[in-house]
Structure 1
Amino acid sequence: MPSIDGVGSARTYGDACAAAHALDLVGERWALLVVRELLLGPKRFSDLRSGLPNAGPNRLSQRLRELEQTGIVRRRKLGPPARSWVYELTDWGRELQPVLVHLGRWGRQSPFRDLDAGISVDALMLALQGDFSAETGGGLSATYVLVFGDDRVTVRVAGGVIGITRGEPSAPDATVTTDPRTFAAVLTRRRSLEEAVHAGDITVSGDLNTVQRLLDSFPRPETAETPPA
């Protein structure tokens, strides 16, 4: 295995703790968010830039090189007709998904999070994966397509389990067309589904009640106490 110095970073905790070593590998700024953006499948560099607009191209390229050199990400060329280069997670890299899910659950309790900040489609899907509650879902069994511009994501709920994949099934129970910011606002109860539909910010094809049942399957966590001034 290459040393930390050998993958482009001279910073290391120098600690034999496995958690410290993991942070040596993915603790640099943007590294875990690159992993987040690849959880649902391969992406071109331009797609990663769209999902991480605040990461400069040079910084993003550096993180991708480091993640490649540590065996977390790999780069490959798609076959025809695309023939474009994409980045994807290795099997080891995909094992970071539950880490990100639990980190997100912890972060959602923060009293300091800016809920009006930008958010990517992949970040939203990670939130769905982490926050879904079979108990509040009430036996929900349905298939949804979430449409964000050119990006289509399928969400399937059955048997108390949620599954999320890119692509579109042949016969969904409902199709929701919106933008990430609006969907995030509805998901976090800052806007109601009814109000967003009435305002034209969300379009629902299919059963509106089934969409509301999906949203109700994500209870909001209690916010941690703000430290005294």
Structure 2
Amino acid sequence: MKFQNESNARQAEPGTATAPSAHGRWYADACAASFAFELIGERWSMHVMRELMLGARRFSDIRAALPGISAKVLTERLARLEELGVLIRRKLPPPAASQVYELSEWGYMAEPFMQELGRWSVRSPLHDPTLPLTSVSAMLSLRTMLDPAKAAGLAARIGFDFGADRFIAELAHGKLAIRRAEDLAGVDALFRAPAAGAILPLFYGKRDPDEVAATTGLSIHGDRDAALRFAAVFSLPPKIAPPDDTAMR
């Protein structure tokens, strides 16, 4: 208690820069993992961060990707994450001159944490892959579910066209880089679909590409063999055993 009082007194000194209140606002616990949830555990905070993982976005872009969030809540989350130093706000140069939000260097460092959380949670039999999936989420899932052993020795430059969102994924030396791209010229192959979730049955379900095309609208352009070799290097971790109902009685 003495330490806490002394700390508060130091923060209250006139002219001293103070950090926004965060640690201890939910949990009276010094655990760093608890602090992480205090930083980004509010509803929609991680979704906002996820949508910024592949670069800066305008308010309207984030809102369009997350239709379940209200403009008021999005404004609050962006302000809080900026206050905490997770993201920054800047203005694009003319002629665009629009305001965008992007993760800070520290904010980008959360991706490995989010990847591990994704690999952990997708093992649950309760995970439902048929729910809506944003384009950024689909691309980040590739960085999360890449199988290094299968990717070894494979090099590819693959485009993804989901209408308003386009990306180029470059695989080399067992690592996958993904970036937004307006121009998809020069890729080895291109996946085109009306929605990002269309790639899931092929990439993770390992279903026949023609069957996937018929049910999701996913089409492959360019080098089909290169596209299918690329899709084959991604896999989900095994599911845990379902809970035993009898043990719950």
- Give the alignment's TM-score, normalised by structure 2: 0.85
Residue matched to 1:175? 190
How far, CA to CA, are the matches of 2:216 and 2:122 in structure 1? 28
Whole-angstrom distance in 1 between the partners of 2:201 and 2:60: 26
Matched-pair contact (CA < 8 Å) for 1:136–1:219: no
Give the conservation status (yes or no) of the 8 Å contact 2:169–2:176: yes
**Residue 59 (str. 1) matches residue 73 (str. 2):** yes
| Distance in 2 between residues matched to 1:99 and 1:131, nearest whole Å | 14
What CA deviation, in whole Å up to 9, does each residue of 1:43-62 have, x standing for no partner? 01111112212122222111
> What's the counterpart of residue 26 of structure 1?
40
- 8 Å Cα contact 1:40/1:166 also seen in 2: yes
Deviations 1:21-70 (A, max 9, x none): 11111111111111111000000111111221212222211111110110
Contact in 1 for aligned 2:198/2:216 (Cα 8 Å)? no
Q: Distance in 1 between matches of 2:235 and 2:206?
A: 13
User: How many matched pairs?
Assistant: 225
CA distance in 1, matches of 2:177, 2:189: 15
- Counterpart for residue 94 of structure 2: 80
Q: CA deviation at 1:191?
A: 4.1
Partner of 2:235: 219
What code does the residue aligned with 2:227 have?
Answer: V
**Which 4+ stretches in 1 moved above 2 angstroms?**
184-188, 196-200
Offset, 1:139: 2.3
Q: Distance in 1 between matches of 2:209 and 2:153?
A: 21
1:194 aligns with 2:204: no
Residue identity matched to 1:177: R
Distance 1:147 1:169, change over 3 A: closer
Q: Is the 8 A contact 1:78 1:86 kept in 2?
A: yes
Q: Check the 8 A contact 1:175/1:205 in 2, yes or no.
A: yes
Whole-angstrom CA distance in 1 between matches of 2:150 and 2:90:
41
Query: Aligned Cα RMSD in Å?
Result: 1.8
1:132 maps to which residue? 146
Residue 165 (structure 1) aligned with residue 183 (structure 2): no
Per-residue displacement from partner, 1:127-162 (whole Å, max 9, x unpaired)? 100111121235221101100102110001111111
1:36 partnered with 2:50:
yes
Larger C-alpha radius of gyration, 1 or 2? 2
1:141 corresponds to which of 125, 139, 155: 155
Aligned residue number for residue 184 of structure 1: 200
Question: Identity over the aligned pairs, expressed in percent?
Answer: 36
- Where in structure 1 are there 5+ consecutive unaligned residues? none
The answer as to whether partners of 1:137 and 1:213 remain within 8 angstroms in 2 is no
